[in-house]
């Protein structure tokens, strides 16, 4: 079967030569809706070569021209983001409002990258030594690779490619094979915005494609987002091949609720952060740490808000969609089974959910359904706590003190996001200082930084030292150069008669 979703090279579709494909599924119905091409090494090289060929002309394209294309891309995206959201929902399953939210967060990075002329300004020192000036510039790297996960098929690539392209690099994007169509829609938008051939390319595939990106000498940097074991592999292999690598990994995000917190606000936040996008967010809260004697009341408030949620077809007014694949759905459900067997209390059980179709008549029987699941009395030795589950499962861990809660977070291998709920500014301030996590919310459950700050975790949530977008993103996609220059006095008399020295009168 020929693939309905092909690679994208030089502003056009490229079927590749491998003949290998993977099925694309609508998670709400379980139906196979298409096939995505899986590259062999020759296909990968053809895409990388196109990016390498396009680089010299793109790096020499003026900033004025580059930003004009970025502004056009931003306008087109803003006008037509509804189309992209529908594509995301049909392959990922998240509800359309969530899909629109992810596109908007990606758009913010495009808007940030429109300011690239300002962001690339260097420094200048006149007369560092007599008649010697020193200045700095930042230059693009070359062809760069972006390897992205299934859970944000538009936003995660957009954390990187607007900045990379604005800075003068050419891009090879390797999206997740589970929801690959968003990348092609974005590629067509770039063409419409006037991006020259070969500047933005898409390579579909699995480990074969990734390994070629990690080893090919033309690729100068790798921006990876996905699970921790693959992030670690990408970081080790990419750096061993002399590339600059930022590899963002998995997460287990904790929220602490202190006894003085507004429990209604905290309960609303936990429902959004635990179950939004079916928990398939790297910033989802999966561990709620209730401090002191508030746990019973807080759990009751969360359960009251969770029970009425509609799990169903993302194109209707559902609150939450299906999980991405049947295998993933079954794996998440098996963690709930294990938690129950280990003695945790299942307060709200999503395993028996009936999918909601909004009276559209769509048959959802074969969809990958698991409703929001709230589990109390979870302890740190249970697999439901130790592992990243990546589903709509919120575990409650009860502790007596703030110090115990902090210790839990700081001894966890991951360090992506965290939040504290309290009305005590002093406690919040201590937390922001003491917690070993890259992104911290204070009465904010999902503290995703704005595009002009940088996104990234600590510990097993990020390998490398550069976070995404913001100034760290600009630095990642450019190399600094310092220039020391000496010009002799003007020769000849082409300046006319000498003027008097400054300040002489």
Write out the residues near ligand NAD by the rule CB under 6 A.
147-152, 156, 174, 176-177, 206-207, 210, 225-227, 230, 248-251, 282, 388, 390, 416, 457, 461
Nearer to ligand NAD, 139 or 227 (CB): 227
Give me the least distance between CB of 62 and ligand NAD, in Å please: 33
Minimum distance of ligand NAD from residue 249's CB (angstroms): 6
Host H or E run for residue 84: helix 63-92
CA 261 – CA 422 distance, rounded (Å) = 4
What residues form DSSP beta bridges with 221?
144, 244
Residue placing its CB nearer to ligand NAD in the complex, 234 or 267: 234
Nearer Cβ to ligand NAD, position 219 or 291? Answer: 219
C-alpha to C-alpha distance for 318 and 270, rounded to whole angstroms:
18
Helix (H) or strand (E) holding 173: strand 170-174
| Shortest spacing between CB 152 and ligand NAD, in angstroms | 6
Least gap, CB of 84 to ligand NAD (angstroms) = 18
Cα angle 419, 421, 426 (rounded to 5 degrees) comes to: 100
The answer to whether the beta carbons of residues 182 and 161 sit under 8 Å apart is no
User: How many beta carbons lie within 10 A of that of residue 125, not counting itself?
Assistant: 12
Which residue number, 150 or 369, has a Cβ lying nearer to ligand NAD?
Answer: 150
Return d(Cα 171, Cα 111) in angstroms, integer: 18
The residues near 486 (Cβ < 8 Å, ≥ 6 apart) are 131, 132, 133
**Alpha-carbon span 446 to 273, nearest angstrom:** 6
Which residue's CB atom is positioned nearest to ligand NAD? 226
Sheet containing strand 478-486, strands side by side: 124-129, 132-140, 478-486
Annotated active-site residue in 282, 384, 406, 474: 282
Give dist(CA 351, CA 349) in Å, integer. 6
- CB closer to ligand NAD, 103 vs 299: 103
> Of the two residues 207 and 217, which places its CB atom closer to ligand NAD in the complex?
207
CB atoms within 10 A of CB 236: 14
Report the candidate in 361, 358, 371 with the shortest Cα–Cα distance to residue 323: 371
Q: Respond yes or no: is residue 282 known to be catalytic.
A: yes
Active site residues: 282
């Amino acid at each position: 079967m020929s693939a309905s979703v092909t690679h994208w090279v030089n502003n056009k579709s490229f079927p590749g030569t491998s003949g290998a494909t993977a099925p694309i599924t609508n998670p709400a119905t379980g139906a196979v809706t298409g096939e995505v091409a899986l590259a062999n090494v020759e296909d990968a090289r053809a895409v990388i070569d196109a990016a390498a060929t396009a680089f010299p002309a793109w790096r020499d394209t003026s900033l004025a021209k580059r930003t004009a294309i970025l502004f056009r891309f931003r306008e087109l995206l803003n006008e037509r983001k509804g189309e992209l959201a529908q594509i995301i929902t049909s392959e990922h399953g998240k509800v359309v409002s969530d899909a629109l939210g992810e596109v908007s967060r990606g758009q913010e990075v495009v808007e940030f990258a429109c300011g690239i002329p300002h962001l690339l300004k260097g420094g200048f020192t006149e007369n560092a030594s007599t008649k010697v000036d020193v200045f700095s510039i930042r230059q693009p790297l070359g062809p760069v690779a972006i390897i992205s996960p299934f859970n944000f098929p538009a936003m995660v690539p957009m954390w990187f490619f607007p900045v990379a392209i604005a800075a003068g690099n050419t891009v090879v994007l390797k999206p997740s094979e589970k929801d690959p169509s968003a990348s092609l829609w974005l590629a067509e938008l770039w063409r419409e915005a006037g991006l020259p051939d070969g500047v933005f390319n898409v390579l579909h595939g699995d480990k074969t494609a990734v390994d070629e990106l990690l080893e090919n000498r033309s690729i100068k940097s790798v921006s990876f987002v996905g699970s921790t074991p693959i992030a670690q592999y990408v970081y080790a292999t990419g750096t061993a091949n002399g590339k600059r690598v930022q590899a963002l990994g998995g997460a287990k995000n904790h929220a602490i609720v202190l006894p003085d917190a507004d429990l209604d606000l905290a309960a609303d936040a936990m429902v959004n952060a635990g179950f939004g996008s079916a928990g398939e967010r790297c910033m989802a809260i999966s561990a709620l740490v209730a401090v002191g004697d508030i746990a019973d009341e807080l759990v009751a408030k969360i359960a009251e808000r969770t029970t009425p949620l509609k799990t169903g077809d993302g194109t209707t007014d559902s609150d939450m969609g299906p999980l991405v694949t049947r295998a993933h759905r079954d794996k998440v459900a098996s963690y709930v089974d294990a938690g129950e067997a280990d003695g945790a209390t299942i307060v709200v059980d999503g395993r028996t959910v009936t999918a909601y179709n909004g009276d559209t008549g769509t048959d959802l029987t074969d969809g990958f359904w698991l409703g929001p699941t709230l589990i109390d009395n979870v302890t740190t030795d249970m697999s439901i706590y130790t592992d990243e589950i990546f589903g709509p499962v919120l575990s409650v861990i009860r502790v007596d003190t703030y110090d115990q809660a902090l210790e839990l977070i700081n001894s966890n291998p991951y360090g992506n996001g965290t939040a504290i709920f309290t009305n005590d500014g002093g406690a919040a301030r201590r937390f922001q200082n003491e917690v070993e996590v890259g992104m911290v919310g204070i009465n904010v459950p999902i503290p995703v930084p704005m595009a002009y700050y940088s996104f990234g975790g600590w510990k097993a949530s990020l390998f490398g030292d550069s976070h995404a977008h913001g100034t760290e993103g600009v630095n990642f996609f450019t190399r600094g150069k310092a220039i020391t220059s000496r010009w002799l006095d003007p020769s000849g008399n082409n300046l006319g008669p000498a003027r008097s020295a400054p300040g002489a009168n």
